[in-house]
Amino acid sequence: MSFDACAQLVERGDPVRFRATMAVPLAARRVLFPLYGFNIEVARTPWVTKEAMIAEMRLQWWRDVLAEIAEGGPVRSHEVIDTLAPVLDAQGCRDLDTLIDVRRWDIYSDVFADRDHLDRYIAGTSGALMGTGARLLGQADGQVVADFAYGVGIANFLRAIPALEAEGRKPLIDGTVEGVRDLAQDALHRLDRARAQHRQVSRVAEAALVAGWQARPVLLRAIADPQRVAMGALDPAPFQDRLRLMRAATFGWWV
């Protein structure tokens, strides 16, 4: 029942990753749904309250959970934790703790200090999540996964710009047409570099990368017309999107 509840949480809170996970083998779902459920719980924590101290306490609660799992002792009960604890190892706990740490940026109204700061945020969120999933499933070159996850993370970040700005945030370091295009081009370069080395990711581990099936068309749209970012018009066309997911799940994440 905890697994079903976790899958339903992902279906409601992260439809893109839900669709990707339903397209991969059941054994991979047993790992990915708990990870994605954890990600939802952590990602939404800074947004459910305007009290920074309460948000910090909520994030600390999840850090304490990871510490309990890593120590191998009793772990508190929760519909996500009940499914996460059996599949997560100590390294995964450390990596997901990094995810929580960088998510503290979401609590406050600070802008990214520079491009390195933004890159650390993307590596700590998209990179830690995808990297943990791939590693738990099977053999995967860490740099290849990190490159792909960076491209996916920037694509998702660009799609979130209108919502972030509606919350009074200033997420872009350089919001000019040239700045947005440069960011998307850099992300596309790393994405394509990973795709060129797809053989460094085993067949079982690649299930964790299927969730990035939309990234390339999103980045291409942002490069072709950066103003689409502010308009919230980066989503791929539905029919082509379905075909791309089918290809990614059937032939591989690099197609």
Nearest 5°: CA angle at 62, between 18 and 68? 110
Q: What pLDDT, on a 0 to 100 scale, did the predictor assign at position 1?
A: 59
Q: Tens digit of pLDDT for each residue in 209-245?
A: 999 999 999 999 999 999 999 999 999 999 999 999 9
**Roughly how many angstroms between the first and final C-alpha of the chain, as a whole number?**
35
Q: Which amino acid is at 26?
A: L
> What's the DSSP call for residue 210?
G
In whole angstroms, what is the distance from residue 122 CA to residue 124 CA? 5
On whether the CB atoms of residues 95 and 124 are closer than 8 A, the answer is no
Radius of gyration of the chain, Cα coordinates, nearest whole angstrom? 17
Q: What pLDDT, on a 0 to 100 scale, did the predictor assign at position 15?
A: 97
Q: What pLDDT, on a 0 to 100 scale, did the predictor assign at position 166?
A: 92
Phi then psi for 78, rounded to 5 degrees? Answer: -170, 150
Q: What pLDDT, on a 0 to 100 scale, did the predictor assign at position 124?
A: 97
Q: What pLDDT, on a 0 to 100 scale, did the predictor assign at position 52?
A: 93
User: What does pTM read for this prediction?
Assistant: 0.96
Question: Tens-of-pLDDT digits for all 255 residues of the chain?
Answer: 589 999 999 999 999 999 999 999 999 999 999 999 999 999 999 898 889 999 999 999 999 999 999 999 899 999 999 999 999 999 999 999 999 999 999 999 889 999 999 999 999 999 999 999 999 999 999 999 999 999 999 999 999 999 999 988 899 999 999 999 999 999 999 999 999 999 999 999 999 999 999 999 999 999 999 999 999 999 999 999 999 999 999 999 998
> What's the DSSP call for residue 190?
H
Residue 213: which of 158, 159, 155 has the closest Cα? 155
- Cα separations in angstroms, 130 against 31, 83, 170, 188: 11, 18, 26, 17
Which positions ≥6 away from 45 have C-beta within 8 Å?
Answer: 55, 58, 59, 62, 103
Q: What pLDDT, on a 0 to 100 scale, did the predictor assign at position 224?
A: 98
Report CA 7 to chain centroid distance, whole Å. 16
Transcribe 141-171 into DSSP letters.
-HHHHHHHHHHHHHHHHHHHHHHHHHTT---
Q: Tens digit of pLDDT for each residue in 12-47?
A: 999 999 999 999 999 999 999 999 999 999 999 989
